[in-house]
Structure 1
Amino acid sequence: METIDVQVAVIGAGFGGLTTATLLAKAGLQVAVVEQNNYPGGCASSYKRKGYWFETGATTLVGLDQDMPLRYLFEELDLQIPLLRLEIPMQVRLPNGTLLTRFQTLELWIQEAERVFGAPGQRAFWETCYQISQRVWRTSLRQKSFPFSSWSDVWQAAKALEMEQLSLPPLAFKSMKDLLSQHGLLQNKTFIAFLDQQLLITAQSKHTEVNVLFGATALCYTMYGNYYMPGGLRQLSNHLVRYLEQHQGQMLYRRQVRQIIPKAKREGYTIFTEKGTITAYYLVCNLPLNNLQQLFESAQLRKKLATYILPAHKVNGAFTWGVVFERSGTTPAVFHHQLHVPGGVPFIGSESIFVSLSHPLDEERAPKGICVAAVSTHVHHPEATWITQKKELERWLVQFLVEQQFFTQEQVRFVQAATPGAWIEWTGREWGQVGGYPQYLNVKPWQMKDARLDGDKAYLCGDTVYPGQGIPGVCLSGIIAADKLLRDHF
């Protein structure tokens, strides 16, 4: 059994953890990332099957525009990562068969929304949402001390305060339903159905449940730069891993953490894994709060975390499919699609599926002439919704995508489904929870768990702490964790 001693241990190689690890390594700290799997990336990674690379979870990459987290990270680390910018971020097919395009340009999108849903209220609604999203992103990196958990945080926030930031807190008390009502859109049932499925992608909740601050920002992610990562999103994490290893850091794979015990006299932490122990002076946990609570013996810390933990009926799991098929003249040119499912997905009841296609020139994921599709749908209350009908759902998906003209039955080479149970095996996340915590109206941003775990030398990042889910969100959480650790101790 091995014993490893490091200055900083980061538990979990999700994108939030890797963000924190690389920023701390840049600051000169000795960092080791402890990961239970064979690959980095967590819910934004890829796996190989039958010679093809499939995305595990996240498939869309945003956050590289001005004032956004990935741009900040890449500039801080001086990373040059090859990315392909998408001309059209997404297309959506409604239950009645209508196809609409989520253009990136605000004006083009408003024209499209007016064409499909009617003109009344659309322009004012989307202009308002876009303006809010811009203010949110501008504020997020200027207020890295938020949420506050020390007087130092308050002082840092006061120094960075700008007038436009004062307009944001009131939006946390207003629901998207209120905003829709303000623009006369609540009676537009077709639009509301579309909007709710869009919100599920990035906010994990619907218009009645999410506040305007998060909801407007979530709805506008297609209005910023959307990118395709050649080779799959695993490559994004691989770039951060290389940076870490070039700066005296190390990756410790296939080490599942069993227990974390603070050392005496506040001299760090002992981390127990099945391969031995790791001692670290500083600790960063890139784990869901539900999992994290189980690793500490301290009743006081468990009680503190319990305040922030959501139960199973408040979170989502995912049912996913991987499909390999031969390209043809009818293969969609747009890579990302949300398809509404009339009557719902069998056995699950979800109302839409999300389909992401590989780039035709991306021969790292599939040979020329072959397309790899990653398909997913939400599974509400994953603890209670245990799905066993994998073969039936594989047949259903192929037939559904044939009807949507993605391919013909004869073009399909391979299809494989995975239940939330696969997410438990892949990531270890309780109940197979994915996508982070949904954004609920009753949980204000300042009530979310901040980056400090125990008030000593342990910190948090990931999609269940502020600011929440999505690659930009977990990247921001990693930036904040690194910033607070460095400010507290160096």
Structure 2
Amino acid sequence: MNTTDVLVVGSGMGALTSAALLANKGLKVRIIEQNWQPGGCTSSYWRKGYVFETGATTLVGLGEGMPLQYVIDKTGIELPLRKLGLPMQVWLNGGIRVNRYEALEEWIAEAERVFGESGQRAFWTECFKVSQFVWQNSLRQLSFPPTRFIDVLASLKHFSFSQLAHLPYAFLSVEAVLKKHSLLENKPFVDFVNEQLLITAQNHMEQVNFLFGAAALCYTNYSNYYVDGGLLNLVLPLVKYVEDHGGQIVYREKVESVSRTASGYRVQTNKGAYETEYLISGIPVNNTQKLFSRGSIALKTKATMMSEQLNSAFQMGIGFVPHRHFDSIHHQIHLSEPLPETGSASIFVSLNHPQDTDRTDVSGERVMSVSTHLPNPQHRLIDNSVVEKAIIKVLIKHDFFKPENLKVYHSSGPKSWQKWTGRQWGFVGGYPQYLNIKPWQMLDCRIDGYKAYQVGDTVYPGQGIPGVTLSGIIAMEKLRLDWKV
């Protein structure tokens, strides 16, 4: 039977973060991936001469005090990154275009131009201040949420009065802070905030607490990046790092059950069995529970969300010939009427960087990924062709391409997501933020109270690549605290 120090289930960004950091500490790491390439929802795939993103398209988390920067600094991994000048444009109903500038003063001036001066400066100044606090403290409180005495001791070591002063924001919704600044009657702004929150917090302003909401709304005020060739090239350097440090990744192998042994775990796959001392689950906690229950292990947490609380996505991949210059590669388009079949109020569009020639076979052509939320995916049956036609109509209306320049397109829904990632019901984007779940009530990464740990967007919900990267760091830190690794 194959043995290893650490077995990692799945190869998303959270899983690969833990794998790389544990390999850095000298542990032998084996990664089991059910697909034919790594990355999960942070990856890319080739089809009909174009490279499309599988899910995530935006990249933040670099810079002082940010999670991805932490991984780079610890490992020395180099990533092929381009910094974006304008992180995003938002197209409001009525044809108004909003430039989401990185510099705070530039952004406040733009917000005042579009939404009126009343309340904007005060709201965004407070929002950015809180977002800075969140990121500055995310790497200081790596035993969060504290569920053991050792966590409390580690938390107290890094306690500050600033943390205490910001505690009330965990009890306030984004909606409450808008009300504080007399912005709830500003409907265009309320719509803008709600659709922006969906991108990173996976929910609307009445459910997102302001600690997470501030970070979600201000992520364009931090450096945004693009990876040439697609986000697969973000995860491949992490895989290589693990392999260079004595580890291994196995593809097209699916974990079927996990059971306890005297010193760790026995992991049964469709191709054999492994024994490991430590286990990292990079798949959603919904899926993890099934693996452990098949091995008759009682899990510490059963606080899983059901389909009606979750989102899947409808996504299109489009290849086209551009006829104009784009100021940004990321766009959110608000819809004048709900999208057929999905009921969505907006779509998100990501283009390849104009200087990236690695994502199309034909020189001069470009590629875009288009996505929108699809709530309660368990029983959703939609007519893809109806949604495709509606999205293409919107893109032509907003001059993203001319009808004759559309070269190829395809789409995917919950069933495709479930097949690609194995996620229950095909839900993506992770657990949404809910106001009744305070930061200290998030799922602890300790799965069974022993040597298994959970990472990904179900333990650190709704914050994209920075959030799942942070989940991998936290799991590594708790494993180190528990077992003095």
Q: Fold match, TM over 0.5?
A: yes
Does residue 440 of structure 1 match 2:434?
yes
**Residue pair 1:149, 1:452 contacting (<8 A) in 2 also:** no
Does residue 404 of structure 1 match 2:398?
yes
Tell me what 1:357 maps to.
351
**Unaligned runs of at least 5 residues, structure 1:** none
Matches within 5 A, 1:216-255: 216-255=214-253
Q: 1:123 to 1:38 in 2, by over 3 A?
A: same
Deviations 1:91-131 (A, max 9, x none): 00011111110000100111111011100000000000000
Residue 468 of structure 1, CA deviation = 4.5
Does residue 323 of structure 1 match 2:321?
no
**Residue pair 1:62, 1:221 contacting (<8 A) in 2 also:** yes
Given candidates 178, 181, 191, the residue that maps to 2:179 is 181
**Residue pair 1:445, 1:466 contacting (<8 A) in 2 also:** no
Tell me what 1:479 maps to.
473
SS in 1 for 2:249: strand
2: CA distance, partners of 1:465 / 1:300? 22
Across the aligned residues of Structure 1 and Structure 2, the Cα RMSD in angstroms comes to: 1.3
Tell me what 1:82 maps to.
80
Deviations 1:148-167 (A, max 9, x none): 12111111111111221112
2: CA distance, partners of 1:190 / 1:227? 28
**Residue pair 2:286, 2:304 contacting (<8 A) in 1 also:** yes
Does residue 280 of structure 1 match 2:281?
no
Matches within 5 A, 1:17-36: 17-36=15-34
Given candidates 192, 195, 198, the residue that maps to 2:193 is 195
Matches within 5 A, 1:3-402: 3-263=1-261, 265=262, 267-297=263-293, 302=298, 304-306=300-302, 308-328=303-323, 330-366=324-360, 367-387=362-382, 389-402=383-396
**Residue pair 2:259, 2:295 contacting (<8 A) in 1 also:** no
**Residue pair 2:6, 2:280 contacting (<8 A) in 1 also:** yes
**Residue pair 1:331, 1:406 contacting (<8 A) in 2 also:** no
Does residue 453 of structure 1 match 2:460?
no
Tell me the amino acid that sits aligned with residue 310 of structure 2.
Answer: V
1: CA distance, partners of 2:301 / 2:356? 43
| Aligned residue pair count | 483
Residue 384 of structure 1, CA deviation = 3.0
Residue 301 of structure 1, CA deviation = 5.5
**Residue pair 1:210, 1:441 contacting (<8 A) in 2 also:** yes
Residue 399 of structure 1, CA deviation = 2.0
**Residue pair 1:5, 1:280 contacting (<8 A) in 2 also:** yes
Residue 299 of structure 1, CA deviation = 9.8
**Residue pair 2:260, 2:297 contacting (<8 A) in 1 also:** no
SS in 1 for 2:77: coil
Identity of aligned residues (%): 49
Residue 410 of structure 1, CA deviation = 0.5
Deviations 1:299-343 (A, max 9, x none): 99656432x211111010000000000122x24231000001111
**Residue pair 1:360, 1:370 contacting (<8 A) in 2 also:** no
1: CA distance, partners of 2:461 / 2:364? 40
2: CA distance, partners of 1:157 / 1:7? 28
2: CA distance, partners of 1:146 / 1:17? 18
2: CA distance, partners of 1:348 / 1:184? 32
Residue 488 of structure 1, CA deviation = 1.6
**Residue pair 2:257, 2:294 contacting (<8 A) in 1 also:** no
Residue 30 of structure 1, CA deviation = 0.2
2: CA distance, partners of 1:285 / 1:427? 13
Q: 1:123 to 1:300 in 2, by over 3 A?
A: farther
Q: 1:399 to 1:331 in 2, by over 3 A?
A: farther
1: CA distance, partners of 2:212 / 2:427? 20
Task: Tell me the TM-score normalised to structure 1 length.
Answer: 0.96
2: CA distance, partners of 1:188 / 1:468? 26
Residue 58 of structure 1, CA deviation = 0.4
**Residue pair 2:11, 2:31 contacting (<8 A) in 1 also:** yes
1: CA distance, partners of 2:194 / 2:53? 24
Q: 1:346 to 1:380 in 2, by over 3 A?
A: same
Task: Tell me the TM-score normalised to structure 2 length.
Answer: 0.97
Residue 487 of structure 1, CA deviation = 2.1
**Residue pair 1:65, 1:225 contacting (<8 A) in 2 also:** yes
**Which moved further from structure 2: 458-467 or 368-377?**
458-467
